[in-house]
Amino acid sequence: MKKTILIIEDDPLFRKLLCTWLESDNYQIFEADDGVAGLELYAKNKPDLIITDIVMPEKEGIEVIQKIREDDPTIPIIAMSAGGSRHTESYLRYSAKFGANVTLEKPFKKKELLKAMNELLS
């Protein structure tokens, strides 16, 4: 059975890239363009892993991580951010503090993402 991945990313081009990468590796993808939609898809589908951007409209990624952790402290979460460039490190540090298992600074390579996912899903 395919592993299910929820991608929460407000940049449509980057979200499409992530979907393409993961669909080619045989994952089933659910995608949301903001934190509110992401939490709705999470509740409806209970994916195996979540990949979320940090800086988004409607609901920030750190808020998303907190809400998901209240519901399920064990689900693997990867947080990613370009953070408006100057603040990327602090955004990623906070996301780890609030429950992200792995943080990735954008841009990253497909192999970096797949390595993190394989470790979290094994």
Q: What is the CATH number of the domain that holds 8?
A: 3.40.50.2300
Distance of alpha carbon 16 from alpha carbon 66, whole angstroms: 25
Both structure tokens of 109: 């390579």
Angle at 111 between CA 108 and CA 113, to 5 degrees: 60
For residue 87, report the phi and psi dihedrals to the nearest 5 degrees. Answer: -110, 10
Tally of domains in the chain:
1
Specify the pLDDT at position 58.
Answer: 86
Which tens digits make up the pLDDT trace of 94-112? 888 999 999 999 999 999 9
pTM value > 0.85: yes
Do residues 36 and 44 lie in contact, with contact meaning Cβ atoms separated by under 8 Å? Answer: no
CA atoms within 13 A on the CB side of 108: 20
pLDDT tens-place string over residues 56-99: 988 999 999 999 999 999 999 999 998 555 566 777 888 889 99
Distances (CA, A) of 83 to 4, 73, 74: 26, 25, 26
Domain range for 35: 4-121
The whole-number average pLDDT for the span 23-29 is 96
